[in-house]
Structure 1
Amino acid sequence: MSVDGGELGPVEVLGAPLGLPCGLVLKNRIVKAAMSDSLGDGTGDPSAAQVELYRRWAQGGAALLLVGEVQVDPAYPERPGNLVLHPGSDDERLRQLALAGAESGAHTWVQLGHAGALAWSPISSAAGPSELHIDGLHCGELPLAAVEALPQVYARAARHAQSVGFSGVEVHAGHGFLLSQFLSPLFNHRTDRYGGSIEHRSRILVEIVKQIRVEVGPSFGIGVKINTSDQLAGGLTEDEALVVVSLLGDEAIDLLDLSGGTYFPGAEASSEKRSSGPYFLDFARQAREVTNTPLVVTGGFKFRDEATQAVSSGTADLVGLARTMALDPEMPAKWLQSAGGDPPFPRFDAPPPGGITAWFTMRLTALANHEETTFDLTPRQAIDANESRDAARIPTWQRKHGICVIEEES
């Protein structure tokens, strides 16, 4: 980006508004990326703490806030701290969340999710594209009728989000959850029209996007989050992901959110790995060749200069910040001032598997309660706190949703 031959600085680059195909205008180029904040009330509705967290993020200057892991079906949650859009939702609480996220001119979209094969076993009987029985993962296969019903399930959830005041949705097709499972040959062994080639494995995602647009009309935001690859042997490859990007570019969507990695038993999460910079910029450059859809690149942005370069080079239209926003909810506003400033990322000495993710999850709880200055959990303590909180929510979730988990015979 330049004006009259002169290079623009970070404030001008990151502060430039972006108009989306649906007509919405984002006030700058910074997105609060979707995270599983686990701040639902245990019944699938927002808690007061979650509303306050999104108010803080909205006031912190981001243009778009994505509410992570909002489930379209209470039978397949990622965790009992997720929100759920269904007929039994507390719509007044959802309106409060949407209003809080709209402060200071921000837009707030919900990320529509379905855990599928990774649904949390204490409150679900997991089912994905195909039946799987491997160490750490046991799930049934969704019957064809259930797959064919998914477009209407997602569209109904999108319409619900629209009705309570959110200005858009992001369809979650990454990180190993259901729609990512359909895209991945690790999970999808189907022999019907939803399995086989990458074009066929993409079919249900494309059908969902089409049906959502029919349901919400032309002026509501629709984004899709996809993996650039599963980062696993035998999983979705970058070449296949580019086919998905091209197919989605033919649909009436407003954003493609590029991420990667899969929660698969025994695999290290990409968010647990150390990185020297943003993760998915090389793929974004390739995606530019096959789609005109605005691109969000999420993952690994720790410094303003990295974000500025990604946008000014044209590689990304927007940058998604996750852990940066967990460390400092006002980071977008700081990046949009001349003085700038970057958050000090914590260093952990040999954290247990999952410990860093749990630490950031519990950090979000501290932010929601304005207790970040006294937050001092170790990764091990964060795991224990997060697991204890989820365990305490099991009876609450079951009372609300009436889900009976059937134990498999040994």
Structure 2
Amino acid sequence: MTLKAEADLLYRPLPLPCGVTLKNRIAKSAMSDALGDGCGAPTEAQMHLYRRWADGGLALSLVGEVQGNPHFAENPGNLVLNDASDPAGFAALARAGQQDGTQLWLQLGHAGALAYAATSSPRGPSALDLPGLHCAGLSPDDIRALPPQFARTARLAQELGFGGVQVHAAHGFLLSQFLSPLFNRRGDGYGGDITGRMRIVIEVVEAVRQAVGPSFPIAIKLNATDQLEGGLTGAEALRVVAALDKTGVDLIEISGGTYFPGASSASDNAATEGPYFLDFARAARRQTNKPLMLTGGFKTRAQALSALGEGAVDVIGLARAFVLDPQLPRSWRTPSGHDPGFPRFTTRPEGGVTAWYTMRLAALAQNRETGEDMDVDAALAASGRRDAMRAASWRQHFGL
């Protein structure tokens, strides 16, 4: 294969089962961009950032996370889209992020047991009282309310002009918690073996599809592994993939890890070389004909081309790379295109690397290309101060 033909793998259109076509194979995976106004609404800075990413030439950008219920947000910078939301800001965000054929999808979230404690009373599949994690359990009525809640938020996203939605069932948030035996200790039809534990995930997907009709894209983000002893196994995750193959999902994004207190993150591990979950993607390919997106550990164009070239995945998901270079797809399309320069950190306090990227992302939204020029400890402190301020606004606005 010539260099040009190989490079064209990244820029080949991808038809989705619903009939929508992605213009290329590069996606900005959802991050908790934390750029909401502290009251669940989009900001001008957020709109500017997604406009910049669209201008960079990617096919798909995902906004993470968007809550249907303000009581279970993972961060007070999340967006909240429900019948009480002001639609004007969301419609403006949809327009800003969908320039030049780029798709902007909302990631539908619910943090459950990992809901931000300062604005929530965390509730998960089961009551837990563990070091660093305490939550009540959801009642059967609470669980039955989840599919229509996700479906309503998806329908609003469609009405306001977004290109699609993604159901978040990864990284230790609520639907991921249902899948994990560490979180889900229920004895009813929503617990037990993986068939019961995945039940609510399938019900949410089916409710969303019914709400938006057959031609609106629906994705799902799924863990290959929780990276926790006793958590979701790869074999169980493959059974979820096989079950999703029979649903109306258009794109399955594979990632991994959890924000369980004290858990290690593949993306924060300096010794880990990516792509992190490529072996799982290869196995998932044998379980489904749905398009697969792989996120985690892609740092070079060569890695992306290799994964696409072998047929393991259909879309390359990038997150932190887009914080370092919002024009990356345009760069990779040129013969001399460069890879992003990932920083090396001398210290890595828990949450510090994530905070560094979060603060740099905020700087990028304001056209400060060099970011906040701070180390991870300073970034962690700055992020904490910002979250505390917005948490106060969140509680006041939502009456919490």
Question: In structure 2, do the counterparts of structure 1 residues 356 and 12 end up closer, same or farther at CA, with 3 Å as the change threshold?
Answer: same
**Out of 94, 100, 104, which is 1:98 matched to?**
94
Q: Sequence identity, in percent? A: 54
Secondary structure at the aligned position of 1:108 is classed as strand
Inter-partner Cα distance in structure 1 for 2:67 and 2:360: 22
**Deviation readout 1:80-111 (Å, 9 max, x if unpaired):** 00001112212111011111110111000000
CA distance in 1 between counterparts of 2:4 and 2:18 reads 27
Letter in 2 for 1:375: E
SS of 2:72's equivalent in the other structure is coil
Q: CA contact under 8 A between 2:221 and 2:253: conserved in structure 1?
A: yes
Residue 143 in structure 1 maps to residue 142 in structure 2: no
Deviation at 1:8, TM superposition (A): 5.5
Residue 397 of structure 1, aligned match among 369, 394, 397: 394
Q: How many residues align?
A: 399
**Alignment equivalent of 1:301, drawn from 287, 298, 302:** 298
Is the CA contact (8 Å cut-off) linking 1:10 and 1:336 kept in structure 2?
Answer: no
| Within-5 A mapping of 1:243-254 | 243-254=239-250
For 1:129, the equivalent position in structure 2 comes to: 125
Aligned ranges for residues 222-301 of structure 1 at < 5 Å? 222-274=218-270, 275-301=272-298
How far is the alpha carbon of 1:157 from its aligned partner?
A: 0.5
1:315 matched to 2:315: no
Distance 1:189 1:374 in 2: 43
Cα distance in 2 between the residues matched to 1:154 and 1:87: 12
Unmatched runs of 5 consecutive residues or more in structure 1 = 404-410
In structure 2, what is the equivalent of residue 53 of structure 1?
Answer: 49
Instruction: State the one-letter code of the partner of 1:81.
Output: G
Offset of residue 271 of structure 1: 2.2
Is 1:27 matched with 2:23? yes
Q: For structure 2, which runs of at least 5 residues remain unmatched after alignment?
A: none
2:347/2:376 contact within 8 Å kept: no
Q: Quote how far apart the aligned CAs of 1:287 are.
A: 0.4
User: Which whole-Å CA distance do the structure 1 matches of 2:342 and 2:238 have between them?
Assistant: 32
Contact 1:37 1:364 in 2 (8 A): yes
- In the alignment, which residue of structure 1 is the partner of 2:85? 89
Q: Check the 8 A contact 1:59/1:104 in 2, yes or no.
A: yes
Given that 1:10 and 1:335 are in contact with CA atoms closer than 8 Å, whether structure 2 keeps it comes out as no
Report the secondary structure of 2:188's partner residue: coil
Name the CA shift for 1:30/1:374 in 2 (closer, same or farther; >3 Å): closer
Cα offset for 1:374? 5.5
The residue type paired with residue 211 of structure 1 is A
- Please give the secondary structure, in 1, of the residue aligned with 2:73: coil
What letter corresponds to residue 251 of structure 1 in structure 2? T
The Cα shift of 1:359 comes to 0.3
CA contact under 8 A between 1:70 and 1:113: conserved in structure 2? yes
Contact 2:115 2:122 in 1 (8 A): yes
Cα RMSD, aligned residues only: 1.1
Q: List structure 1 runs of 4+ shifted beyond 2 angstroms.
A: 6-11
Q: C-alpha displacement at 1:372, in angstroms? A: 1.7
Rounded Cα–Cα distance in structure 2 between residues aligned with 1:374 and 1:197: 46
Give me the whole-angstrom Cα distance separating, in 1, the residues matched to 2:274 and 2:168: 24
What CA distance in whole angstroms lies between the structure 2 residues aligned with 1:261 and 1:273? 12
Helix, strand or coil at the partner of 2:289:
coil
SS of 1:21's equivalent in the other structure is coil
AA of the residue aligned to 2:303: E
Letter in 1 for 2:100: S
2:194 maps to 1:198: yes
- Within the candidate set 58, 62, 66, 1:62 is matched to 58
Q: 1-side partners of 2:181 and 2:384: how far apart?
A: 31
Give me the TM-score of the superposition, normalised by structure 1: 0.96
What is the CA distance between 1:338 and its match in structure 2?
2.2
Residue 375 of structure 1 deviates from its aligned partner by 3.1
2: distance between equivalents of 1:10 and 1:101? 28
Which residue does 1:406 correspond to in 2?
A: none
Structure 1 CA distance for aligned equivalents of residues 160 and 25 of structure 2: 25
Instruction: Find the aligned partners of 1:207 and 1:66 in 2 and give their Cα distance.
Output: 22
Give the drift of 1:321.
0.5
Cα distance, 1:235 vs structure 2: 0.2
Deviation at 1:7, TM superposition (A): 7.2
AA at the equivalent of 1:263: Y
TM-score by length of 2: 0.98
**Per-residue CA distance 1:244-276 (angstroms, 9 max, x = gap):** 000001001110000001111221223211222
| 1:360 is aligned to 2:362 | no
Distance in 2 (alpha carbons) for counterparts of 1:374 and 1:135: 34
Q: Do the aligned partners of 1:117 and 1:128 also contact (CA within 8 Å) in 2?
A: yes
